[in-house]
Structures are given as structure tokens and as C-alpha cells.
Amino acid sequence: MSLTLINPADETVITEIDEFDVPRTDAAIARAAVAQKLWARLAPAGRAAALRRFADVVDAHVEELALLEVRNSGHPVSQARWEAGHVRDVLEYYAAAPERLFGKQIPVAGGLDLTFAEPLGVVGIITPWNFPMTIASWGFAPALAAGNAVVLKPAEWTPLTSLRLAALALEAGLPEGLFTVLPGRGPVVGERLVTNPTVRKVVFTGSTVTGKRVMAGCAEQVKRVTLELGGKSANIVFADSDLEKAAATAPYGVFENAGQDCCARSRILVERSVYERFMELLEPAVAGVKVGDPLDEATEMGPLVARGHYEKVASYVPDDAPVAFRGQAPSGPGFWFPPTVLTPGRTDRSATEEIFGPVVTVLPFDDEADAIGLANATDYGLSGSIWTRDLSRAVRMARAVESGNLSVNSHSSVRYSTPFGGFKQSGLGRELGPDAPLAFTETKNVFLAIDE
């Protein structure tokens, strides 16, 4: 069995990839378990140096990785370069962790009490197709830093950059079997990472539906699990904000990566008194988004990832959809969908479900309380933005919105040095930031009796 990979910008076949089955998955997990024991025994400085070498090799291949992502995923080349550089940065950041995994010395009677942050063993990482290499690195870099081995299953449509990263790890001198990428089907390879007892933790990023299944599977073995799932985030614009800036940046808060972003601010909530003015300002901003050839340096938005996903996104914009205006998109082959602005009712499907495409809904609100109610009227809680010049209101709103990652007067993207993750059904646990390696350890407490 093999996976056929299609270039989303022109629908040409890129290549065929051999799929892993359950026996080959089990064999890779067994090799990872052996490699992990040796890796965990290395001196912390040795693991740190190995991760820095891995970062250096990634740095030397940023352009190659970026072009691979352009072909496989249709990402604009400027964005893809940022993604490859981000993988390097994440590795650099967590290369500092092996030498800083401090335990505690806790004062107790009769002896000495110490805690150790022990590695878990083999960690399984299941990644989605929207940001294949960056999301992979959020799992593998801190997991390796904490002394674990990693087996990673990339999404069926987009395995190429992950496979290349595993090859670069070997080139950098990481031991054979320590970081393995297993292309294959979710219900086969992904499911096996959940059921194989040698895998001690699963890091899953993807849809909420599949995430619930993974969590239920992990419960069987009380397996550790981190989930990064969907979102329907609000971009809340108050009348007292810099309206020009809020409107000019709103398209980039939702249409980046063609809206295939769990952090997409896909609901713009606008205070009613400035709604008309905001829409006047938003229209040219949406028309100005440069959609086209991903290899063009000026391109800001590429195609959707695959035909099947295009059909799903299109189902949210039927002929009678309340379209306020649309941006540009090329015609001809490729899964092109124009940036689209809808003005539906509050309970319409397009206003409540995650579309994961370049479709945004704009809804008016009356006051702060109404904005909070509307922002939180969703099972999701991943990101969001608040636009106001009133500092007190900004803080009140930031505390009231039930979401893991908020930005005030910006649509800040993910930073490797700050924690990332969702409230409610957007996820469980946090990735990135200084504490991420701890999520790949067990706390062990040791008491040493001392003769007084």
C-alpha cells in the first residue's frame, strides 16, 4: 500500500510513499525503546550538544525544507521558510533543557528528599497536515530533550518534511531509532501508537473528533496524552480601538495558511456602533490579500491542501450564503478558494463550526458583556484577539475570554518560548514554553534515610 501525494497548487502527482503497517510500526517502536535507554544514559551535556547539531543541520537545509513544504502543502514560500527556521529555533531552545531539568530537594524529617524528572520512554506523536514540520518539532524537540525516543506519524497528505527531518537527525548524528517517522494511515499507524503499550505518551494534534478517540484509547492504558484540537476563535473589535489597524490586520488573523490554522480568528466580533465603518475598511484589506503561486515571493495565501478538504470548506459557502465580499483566487487546476467574508446569524453553521479554510464570519455585538458571551459561546477555546485602546477593558476581556492564547491589539502567532494550548474542547495540556520538557517526564520522589 502507498500514499499518493498531490501538489495542491497544480494537482500534479509529486510522489508515492510506502505506507507503514502495524507490524512495521511495532518494530519501529521496539527499536525506539532500545535507542531511548542509551540516549537517557548519555550525559545531559551530550544530549544538549546532539540537539544543537540537529538544529545546525536543519539550519543548513532551511531552503530545501521550505521548498518541500511548498510542493507538498502549497504553503507560500516566505511562510514555509519561516516554518523551517522555526523548527531550528525550537531545537535550539530545547537544546538548553537537558542541562536544566532540575529536580527539587524538599526539607523532610529523618533524611534527604529528592525529586527526579525521569523520561517517559517512547513518545508517539501524531501530526496534522496544516503545519507539518512546525507542529512535529513542538513534540519531538522537548521530548528528545527530556530523554525520550520519538516515533512520529505525519498526516497522510503531508509526510515529506517530517521524513526529511528524520533523515537530517541521522545526518546530525542522533542515534539510529531515536527519532523515527512512520508515514501511514491514521486508523493503522496512528491507532497503533495509541494501543502499543511500549508507547508511554501520545501527543496528538488534529480534529476534536479524532482527538476524543485518541484520548479514549489512551485511557485503556492510562497513557499520558496531550491534545491540540480545533478552534473557532474570536477577534473582538471595540469601537475605541484603532479601527484602521484592526481592519487592515484582520485578514491576516484568519486567512494565513488559507485559514487552515487552529488559531485562525475565524469569527470577527465588532461593536455595533462601528460595524458599518469596520466593514468599509475590511473590504479593501481582504481584496489586498495576495493569493497565488506559492513559489512567488510576494504570495500571502496559497491553495487548500487537498480536493477533499476543498469540498468541505466549500460546503460552508452555498449559493445562498450571506457573502459580504470575496477576495481573489486563481482559476484553473489547484485547490484555490478565495478569502470569503460572511455575515450570518449567530447560530448559523458557518458562525459556530470550525471551517478550517479562508472563510470568516463577522457578527456585531452590543457591549462588553455581549462580546464575552458571544466569544465564549463555543465548545472551543484556543486563541483570540482583543482590539481596544482601554487598558482596563483589555485586561478584563483577556481574563474573561475562555481561551488559551490571547493577543491584545495584534494577532500574535505562536512563539516557541511561551506556552500554547487550548481551553475546553480545544485541547488538553500545553506545548512549547519553558515547561514543555516536563510534560515528557514523570516526577519520581526518592527519600534517603540518614543516620543522625
Please report how close the Cβ of residue 204 comes to ligand ADP at its closest, in angstroms: 7
Please report how close the Cβ of residue 211 comes to ligand ADP at its closest, in angstroms: 7
* Residue in 410, 361, 129 with CA at minimum distance from that of residue 252: 410
Whole-angstrom Cα distance, residue 258 to residue 132?
15
Stretch near ligand ADP under the rule CB under 6 A, chosen from 41-49, 96-104, 183-191, 395-403: 183-191
Residue 187 or 333: the one with the smaller Cβ distance to ligand ADP is 187
Please report how close the Cβ of residue 166 comes to ligand ADP at its closest, in angstroms: 15
Rule CB under 6 A: choose which of 132, 190, 292, 384 binds ligand ADP: 190
Query: For ligand ADP, how many residues bind (rule: CB under 6 A)?
Result: 16
Residues of span 261-280 touching ligand ADP by CB under 6 A: none
C-beta neighbour count of 151 within 10 angstroms: 30
Please report how close the Cβ of residue 428 comes to ligand ADP at its closest, in angstroms: 14
Residue 190 or 364: the one with the smaller Cβ distance to ligand ADP is 190
The DSSP-derived string for 344-382 is: --TTSHHHHS---SSEEEEEEE-SHHHHHHHHTSSS--S
Rule CB under 6 A: choose which of 148, 210, 235, 385 binds ligand ADP: 210
Rule CB under 6 A: choose which of 8, 132, 147, 206 binds ligand ADP: 206
Rule CB under 6 A: choose which of 191, 300, 354, 431 binds ligand ADP: 191
Stretch near ligand ADP under the rule CB under 6 A, chosen from 131-139, 186-194, 241-249, 325-333: 186-194
| Cα Rg of the chain, angstroms | 23
Residue 153 or 265: the one with the smaller Cβ distance to ligand ADP is 153
Residue 198 or 376: the one with the smaller Cβ distance to ligand ADP is 198
Please report how close the Cβ of residue 177 comes to ligand ADP at its closest, in angstroms: 21
Residue 202 or 397: the one with the smaller Cβ distance to ligand ADP is 202
Residue 85 or 186: the one with the smaller Cβ distance to ligand ADP is 186
C-beta neighbour count of 296 within 10 angstroms: 13
The angle at the Cα of 98, spanning 96 to 100, to the nearest 5 degrees, equals: 70
Q: Give the CA count within 13 Å in the CB-facing half-sphere of 127.
A: 29
Residue 172 Ramachandran class (φ > 0 left, ψ -120 to 50 alpha, else beta): alpha
Whole-angstrom Cα distance, residue 299 to residue 441?
42
436: Cβ–Cβ under 8 A, 6 or more apart, which residues? 94, 138, 142, 419, 430
Helix segments in 146-200, DSSP class H? 160-171, 191-195
Name the closest residue to ligand ADP (Cβ): 186
Catalytic residues, which ones? 228, 262
Note whether 28 binds ligand ADP by CB under 6 A.
no
The angle at the Cα of 321, spanning 316 to 323, to the nearest 5 degrees, equals: 105
Per the DSSP assignment, residues forming a β-bridge with 117 are 443
Residue 119 or 128: the one with the smaller Cβ distance to ligand ADP is 128
Stretch near ligand ADP under the rule CB under 6 A, chosen from 10-18, 202-210, 430-438, 444-452: 202-210
Rule CB under 6 A: choose which of 187, 197, 333, 373 binds ligand ADP: 187
Burial label for 328, CB within 10 Å (0-12, 13-18, 19+), is middle
Rule CB under 6 A: choose which of 44, 85, 186, 344 binds ligand ADP: 186
Residues of span 111-170 touching ligand ADP by CB under 6 A: 126-128, 153, 155-156
Q: 327 with 353: CB under 8 angstroms?
A: no
Please report how close the Cβ of residue 185 comes to ligand ADP at its closest, in angstroms: 6
Please report how close the Cβ of residue 87 comes to ligand ADP at its closest, in angstroms: 18
Please report how close the Cβ of residue 314 comes to ligand ADP at its closest, in angstroms: 16
Per the DSSP assignment, residues forming a β-bridge with 118 are 442
Rule CB under 6 A: choose which of 115, 207, 409, 413 binds ligand ADP: 207
Return the C-alpha cell found at 44.
Answer: 545531559
The DSSP-derived string for 84-141 is: HHHHHHHHHHHHTSGGG----EE--TTEEEEEEEEE-SEEEEE--SSSHHHHHHHHHH
Q: 227 with 211: CB under 8 angstroms?
A: yes
Residue 174 or 225: the one with the smaller Cβ distance to ligand ADP is 225
Residues of span 345-404 touching ligand ADP by CB under 6 A: none
* Residue in 236, 137, 134, 182 with CA at minimum distance from that of residue 31: 182
Q: Which residues bind ligand ADP (CB under 6 A)?
A: 126-128, 153, 155-156, 186-187, 190-191, 194, 206-207, 210, 213-214
